[in-house]
Amino acid sequence: MASNKLRKIRHTRVRKKVSGSTERPRLAVHFSGRNITAQVIDDQAGVTLVSANTTEKELKPKAAGRANVANATEVGKLVAQRGAAKNIRQVVFDRGGNKYHGKVKALADAAREAGFEF
Cα–Cα distance between 77 and 43 in angstroms, integer? Answer: 22
| pLDDT, position 90 | 95
For residue 16, pLDDT over 80 is answered with no
Please say whether the beta carbons of 52 and 75 come within 8 A.
yes
- pTM score: 0.85
30 has pLDDT over 90:
yes
Q: How far apart are CA 21 and CA 80, in angstroms?
A: 17
**Mean model confidence pLDDT for the chain:** 90
Domain boundaries, the chain: 3-113
Beta bridge partners of 27: 40, 93
Helices (DSSP H) in 1-118: which residue ranges?
3-17, 60-63, 69-85, 103-113
Q: What is the pLDDT of residues 35-78, one digit of tens each?
A: 999 999 998 999 999 999 999 988 877 767 788 999 999 999 99
Q: What is the predicted pLDDT for the residue at 59?
A: 84
The architecture of the domain spanning 3-113 is: 2-Layer Sandwich (3.30)
* Helix (DSSP H) and strand (DSSP E) numbers for the chain: 4, 4
Q: Distance (Å, rounded) from C-alpha 58 to C-alpha 86?
A: 19
